[in-house]
Structure 1
Amino acid sequence: MLNVQLLKKVRTLLEMYEEGELGGEVMPEDVLKGVVEDADLLHVLTLAMALNYQRNSYTLWESVVKAYQDEKTAWIFHPKIAANCDIHDLREALLLHRVGLQPNRHPEIWQRVAKGIVNSSANGDVQGLIESAHFDIAILKELMQHTRKAEFPYLSGPKIFNYWLYVLENYASIRWRSRELITIAPDTHIMKATVKLGLCMDEVLDGGANDRRVVANAWEQALKGTEIAPIDIHTPLWLWSRAGFPSLEEKKQSV
């Protein structure tokens, strides 16, 4: 469990986030609000997130919006169509607005994830995939990270998988069972903030897969016994780092 001083800092950070004191930063996925129809949101979030690695998230989601609004490319966000289309047509559509950047790898990933969605759901859609797991993260994790892992490249990885769960909860109003199983999704900002709080040593800033596991596990263990789920602090930590780590002590003194 968190020591008393660190828990105070975490609570202060959560309070600053709730009060909009971390710079009022717009999150990358916010660009979808008011643009993507509710009926399409689960598909747009899921398919695009399979490509959300080692690239600028803001640029990715801006490209996604352009592709969604373009009648020539909007079809790529329909799993059944993307799963069965000609790969050359998919490549052309993904590259047009730079949703995909790698002409071979990205279309292949996109189509494989689309097929994974279709094959894992009676309805052939993301809602059906989630319902087949009874909104239970433990079941969904077993399905996507073990049983059918090959069908969900990158999306099944711990970083993107957990952030995907978080994004569906926050943007598509999915209500998960056992949400405490959503671990934090460590990117550069999360790791910097974790070190800044003293929960991990500087070595994790190397950013390798093992470093990300160390950070995720550290938060999972630290928050046991509290009412705070690890994923609840993801955005506050991310924004705190982006804002240059404004003082938590000053906030506590002003309360």
Structure 2
Amino acid sequence: MRNDDLIKKLEILIQMHEKGLLGGEVMPEDALIGTVPEQEWPNVLTLGMSLNYQRNSYTLWKMVAQCYLDEGSRWVFDPQKVAESSLDDLRDALLQHRVALQPTRHPEIWHRVSRGITGSSPKGNVLGLIESADYDIAQLQTIMQVQRKADFPYLSGPKLFHYWLYVMESYARISWKSRELITIAPDTHILQATVKLGLCLPEVLRGTAKDREAVASAWERALSGSRFAPIDVHTPLWLWSRADFPPLPAKGND
């Protein structure tokens, strides 16, 4: 597909998304709206995202919201308190609201990420971590994907890391430097939409790490020099696939 044809189709998809024609008026993370105070969004989003791997995202974030509403378990979203807590107490709180589904692995990840946050942040929270990196994505990549990679399981992976950046921008109002570095997050729906648009061959649907990397790179190349950063097209593509690819109308038509 010629690049200008691809851009035209993306413009149509974005327009469809803005008009609500792709569904998805409620995104998974919307479960936190009206529940979590604005200043707590960075911590809640980051810790919740740390378990957003091979999970139903809508169910996960509903459970996160319920856990936050429970004053007895709300402490699990304070990285400093979690880092100082026992794994048993953390396990009980996370399992109670089914934020954690695996009784050993999931609480250990939550605990490790909390210690990674407090160990990287003068303030002991996610906003402090971001501020220490001067809101610079490249610096955060060095911290979370190189220097302290072991402290951020799942989150340090390219798919979740870049989607986390996008969610932090969208919901926590973080203004990133060099936001063009946020690549598309190549989950199953993105892979399917990419093939549907003809940007990659069907082989990438195998979903291996190399396939996902190839899709992310293909979007970087395709959008280079355009008005879109790769992450700008993530949600329209994701919803288009989830809606089983409704046909794209001619540009400008209602």
Q: Is TM (by shorter chain) over 0.5?
A: yes
Provide TM-score, normalisation by structure 2. 0.97
- Over residues 100-155 of structure 1, what are the superposed CA-to-partner deviations in whole Å (9 max), with x where a residue is unaligned? 01111111100010001001011111111000110010111111101111111111
Q: Which amino acid aligns with 1:252?
A: K
What one-letter code is carried by the residue in structure 2 that aligns with 1:6? L
Rounded Cα–Cα distance in structure 2 between residues aligned with 1:26 and 1:123: 32
Identical-residue share of aligned pairs (%):
63
Alignment partner, residue 208 of structure 2 = 208
Equivalent residue, structure 1, for 2:23: 23
Contact 1:199 1:218 in 2 (8 A): yes
Deviations 1:22-74 (A, max 9, x none): 12431100111111111211110000101000010011001101110112211
Once the two structures are superposed, residues 66-109 of structure 1 have per-residue CA deviations (whole angstroms, 9 ceiling, x without a partner) of 11011221110000000110111111111001100111111110
Residues 2 and 223 of structure 1 are in contact (CA less than 8 Å); yes or no, is this contact kept in structure 2?
no
Partner of residue 68, structure 1: 68
Q: Does 1:252 align with 2:251?
A: yes
The residue identity in structure 2 corresponding to 1:60 is L
Consecutive aligned runs of 4 or more in structure 1 exceeding 4 Å deviation = none
> Which whole-Å CA distance do the structure 1 matches of 2:66 and 2:144 have between them?
29
Alignment-derived partner of residue 173 in structure 2: 173
Report the Cα offset of residue 11 of structure 1. Answer: 1.4
In the alignment, is the contact (CA less than 8 A) between 1:2 and 1:222 conserved in 2? no
Number of equivalenced pairs: 254
> 1:1-12 to 2 correspondence within 5 Å?
3-12=3-12
Give the structure-1-normalised TM-score: 0.96
Instruction: Give the conservation status (yes or no) of the 8 Å contact 1:186–1:212.
Output: yes
In the TM superposition, 1:180-219 aligns within 5 A as 180-219=180-219
Is the 1:121–1:132 contact (alpha carbons within 8 Å) kept by the matching residues of 2? yes
- AA aligned to 1:104 is T
Please tell me the residue identity of whatever aligns with 1:195. V
Could you say what the CA RMSD is over the residues aligned between the two structures, in angstroms? 1.3
* Residue 220 of structure 2 is aligned to residue 220 of structure 1: yes
